[in-house]
Structure 1
């Protein structure tokens, strides 16, 4: 057996020596993509926790695009009453699968293709990050493999259906690159910090909040560099301002909504029991879904090996002023924060906004990215010969595939068995769009009551006669026989930004959280109401577009000057 293995290894080494490095890297990355997402070739897709919610978002966006609209309030939700996903939950990347649906593609197929594109983008940014830090193809390949096949990311895709968090994997490596450039190398490349944070904010707010916290720590540890070259701090401020400008079309309208009304999001979610969501050390490193924890898996045993590699003498002494050792320290801090040994209750008394992360295991995201980057760097330094590198790479792929097969294989086996043999599970149903926990409903809006109410206009005046037609969230209404105090409650959930074409009428929110039109003594008339967004929302779209264009021009000129220099 050993002889056969050595013979196979020798042939592999000979084949690798004949290949160009570029072709070899592309071949391995392609194989990695197939390992990660090859199961998507199986027809249909298992029921992940949030799958219906994600498919609903894509389908609703597609319906709006077909009407020529870019929505903030989504169509099709709550019997066409509308639901403001787009005001509170970044959806920019979802335009891609939504456009595919508009072109005639099945929504599940569009979702699968989007997962492929997101994975390719994640591979690209992780590779770029490590290549920027250490200029090593092998280190970049190892890092990409660790991140792409990591248990937490795989669970996010196939079991949790946490699409927004999966997208956040794309942007965290760019934030690391931006921090490295601003603090330690070329601060004129600050734009990676802005692109990373903007992308993170527009995909997953919780990941954005986590990275803001870690950035504060990175800056604190890099204070010596800022003291030596004070211009670096100026570039950090510039990156912050530009980030705000890039995301302003989403940030400020969201804040405007939250200041104008109360929502389930702002009154209930922040009370999450973060301390109660911790994991034991065994659960942190054993990458299996635990039924009692709703299928959340740990980071995997492979990262124990990464942590131990730090203490190999070839990785040098621990230096707190190095970005890699800061990543290592913050990964350890995060692991501690996921365990019961971390004083969450005390920390939250001082830093109550941290409760927005909801669950301590959210930190598995940053732990996975940080340790993936470090795993590539440590492997490059420790494995010096080609044979060592090939063996180490094979080892990490094996360690990653075991939990992958148990988690994803188990998910698919159960789904296929219960859909095709027992018939206990039905394929994904999008006849009713999922609102998840209804976080973006205004207080007073009850989804059950809305469902029972139906698509009707009601009034406090029994004698009032009303007819209406609708196109999406645009209602054309005709009424007559109204009393002086009459009002109409429309089949629309109230969000600030609805506009009516009759200035004599007044829009307010009803006690049930619906759009109410006060007729103000008008006995008869017609009006059209639609969600057009607020003036602030309309202005900040231009701010974001102009800021983004300015960043692109800056990148072009900076890159051109660097090549000429």
Structure 2
């Protein structure tokens, strides 16, 4: 028996080594693909050099370069240039071509250019793709990525090893999580996550309305963290590193997770897919906890999590809209209605559930916060008598509110400061079209009650799983239900509010009475962000109430098969019409969707073209040299203004409140300068009486930002201390018993 155990352990160890080899065999392989897709025509384009790839960084090693395309003339030439010196140059053959060249890089090169010299006599030249590949090159990103994957793999094998061979130790380490019931729940939620993430199981790009924009946000935070900007209120990378202050207005705390994944060497596409998968899992987990917490029923929790997983609007947000803010909101809304239930059920000690829900919403999506806040206000007004009479309920609400505001101070205090101190293009907290109703954005009843429809309609729908909840729910309430229970009453409550929220997404709701709110949430069908979790929770509780204990497992399996089957057309639509080639995928830093958080005088087209140019009101101003590093920009200048006049200098950084500047004159004396938003929305200073020197502009946290950080930090410390104290108190109580 002992020998058999040893043999099994050795086999397990060999299996782990084999798995590690499979994930690490390409650790030193390098592959960079550029989708060029450019055509030069003799009728339109001038002859001469055309840059295809600029400033590619390559480490020491041997690289195979492959150019593919088609040429109709014999005089075109391709050039691979290293630091302005030609490495390889040769003629491009006529017809379709796949040119392969090997280049040797002896030292890390910061600038590899790939160009073509286009001969105007040629009728056309098309470059489709350029690949750089190496079988042995050492890149930090690759090493980090493989190290992380290896550590996670080792951790997974270690957990399985303990689970199989050292069960007692496994139970001591994981405690409640080691119970068979908890393991089954965890595996079921992981299975749901895998199933609803199927369209991401490839190397391609799933095109969504806003997904590209959120990837740019992630990249901006990643670059800001790399430059030491914490918190990353102002995003680098965007608009040629001009510093886009989106973090002041659009909450992005949870995007720090994918930003860190990017820092660990994963591609932006892989990072985005991993992040959405994590959000999926956490959404199902929060729904399971919420419903099980309210009903004390495992099956009700699993049924609700399943309906939540396959809910059409949630999948539309992921695969059609790319609405990351709403995807995050789906994690926290269940905590809101769970906390409300507990408080009005009589357990006011669980006010912290509301704090989790609302703090998460504040850091996720302001519009979802507004929707959840409005719904909560309606609920409180419906129960105003009980709320006013019960002191414990009022105290619970006050605690939840104060804790949420304290924890989120790091976001809303700097936002308010920026709104007061610096005007931006967009309407952040209000709408300028408060009394206008766009009927095109309203759903009809037939739009809403659809099981599946292609996204070319650009209108969401409830989908089969939640339609099933509604039809079964109405039918069950019209006939006598086998088991009457408190849980069924809760299901009715959730069902009513879920239907009301869904109804509010249609043209039948009198939105003209609530036009301000209508314009604040932009699309009334965003009310489905509330209807979806309410109906999913109601359905899970209802099914649990209808079926007897010995019937529930069969129904759970049947509902799982039904939900998976009716989701197939949805995924088929995504995989057929929304998938684009992922190789060579790159983010363009000038695509910022409306640019509503730009300073009010800024123009993104101007910024994109201006690059590192320092602007001056004096024509004699000469930029001797400049240096850009993160949110710091310095320029050595020389000028000769007439009559000692004031000269305005615009530095190529977008203006947000908090920028500081100083002038060092030719004698080495430092002079502080006032910074303001200039005529192009840039950080701007005025100089007078100094004709030569250095201007340095840099971002420094304001006093209010430091106070906000302090409030949030102390709140987190206080809450952690309270949790630890309570845990120790509970342990002492158990020991006494």
TM (norm. structure 1) is: 0.88
Confirm or deny that 1:337 pairs with 2:504: yes
Confirm or deny that 1:459 pairs with 2:616: yes
Q: d(CA) in 2 for partners of 1:186 and 1:251?
A: 30
The offset of 1:290, in angstroms, is 4.8
Residues 364-413 of structure 1: CA distance to partner in whole angstroms, max 9, x if unpaired?
Answer: 111001011111111110011433x2443344334433453222221222
Structure (1 or 2) with the greater strand fraction: 2
8 Å contact kept, 1:183–1:219: no
Aligned to 2:637: 479
1:64-213 to 2 correspondences below 5 Å: 64-70=224-230, 71-213=232-374
Residues 155-208 of structure 1: CA distance to partner in whole angstroms, max 9, x if unpaired?
Answer: 111121111110111111111122122222321221111111011111111111
Supply the RMSD in Å over aligned alpha carbons: 2.7
Confirm or deny that 1:530 pairs with 2:698: yes
Aligned to 1:62: 222
Pick from 664, 678, 686 the counterpart of residue 510 of structure 1. Answer: 678
8 Å contact kept, 1:73–1:84: yes
Aligned to 2:463: 300
Pick from 31, 34, 37 the counterpart of residue 194 of structure 2. Answer: 34
1:221-370 to 2 correspondences below 5 Å: 221-266=382-427, 271=433, 273=437, 275-291=439-455, 293-294=457-458, 296-307=459-470, 308-309=472-473, 311=477, 313-314=480-481, 324-348=491-515, 352-370=516-534
Q: d(CA) in 1 for partners of 2:595 and 2:568?
A: 34
Q: Considering only CA atoms, is the larger Rg found in Structure 1 or Structure 2?
A: 2
The offset of 1:325, in angstroms, is 3.6
Cα distance change, pair 227–65 in 1 and its aligned pair in 2 (3 A): closer
Q: d(CA) in 2 for partners of 1:241 and 1:323?
A: 28
8 Å contact kept, 1:275–1:345: no
Structure (1 or 2) with the greater helix fraction: 1
Aligned to 1:545: 713
For structure 1, which segment, 370-379 or 532-541, has the greater mean C-alpha deviation from structure 2 after superposition? 532-541
The offset of 1:55, in angstroms, is 1.2
1:6-17 to 2 correspondences below 5 Å: none
Q: d(CA) in 1 for partners of 2:345 and 2:325?
A: 30
Cα distance change, pair 516–341 in 1 and its aligned pair in 2 (3 A): same
Aligned to 1:400: 563
Cα distance change, pair 201–274 in 1 and its aligned pair in 2 (3 A): farther
Alignment partner of 1:190: what SS? helix
Aligned to 2:50: none
Confirm or deny that 1:429 pairs with 2:586: yes
Alignment partner of 2:676: what SS? strand
Alignment partner of 2:696: what SS? strand
For structure 1, which segment, 454-463 or 502-511, has the greater mean C-alpha deviation from structure 2 after superposition? 502-511
Aligned to 2:14: none
Q: d(CA) in 2 for partners of 1:107 and 1:117?
A: 15
Q: d(CA) in 2 for partners of 1:228 and 1:390?
A: 43
Q: d(CA) in 1 for partners of 2:346 and 2:590?
A: 48
The offset of 1:223, in angstroms, is 3.2
Q: d(CA) in 1 for partners of 2:425 and 2:483?
A: 50
RCO higher in 1 or 2 (8 Å CA, sep ≥ 6)?
A: 1
- Unpaired runs of at least 5, structure 1: 1-18, 420-424
8 Å contact kept, 1:487–1:519: yes
Q: d(CA) in 2 for partners of 1:380 and 1:141?
A: 10
For structure 1, which segment, 327-336 or 133-142, has the greater mean C-alpha deviation from structure 2 after superposition? 327-336
The offset of 1:362, in angstroms, is 0.3
Alignment partner of 2:234: what SS? coil
Q: d(CA) in 2 for partners of 1:195 and 1:405?
A: 34
Pick from 649, 654, 657 the counterpart of residue 488 of structure 1. Answer: 649
Q: d(CA) in 2 for partners of 1:289 and 1:426?
A: 30
Alignment partner of 2:599: what SS? coil
Alignment partner of 1:266: what SS? coil
Q: d(CA) in 2 for partners of 1:207 and 1:126?
A: 17
Q: d(CA) in 2 for partners of 1:372 and 1:510?
A: 51
Q: d(CA) in 1 for partners of 2:566 and 2:584?
A: 25
Aligned length: 536
Cα distance change, pair 194–477 in 1 and its aligned pair in 2 (3 A): same
Cα distance change, pair 398–520 in 1 and its aligned pair in 2 (3 A): farther
Q: d(CA) in 2 for partners of 1:216 and 1:371?
A: 19
Residues 443-497 of structure 1: CA distance to partner in whole angstroms, max 9, x if unpaired?
Answer: 2211112222232101010112223111122102222325321011111111111
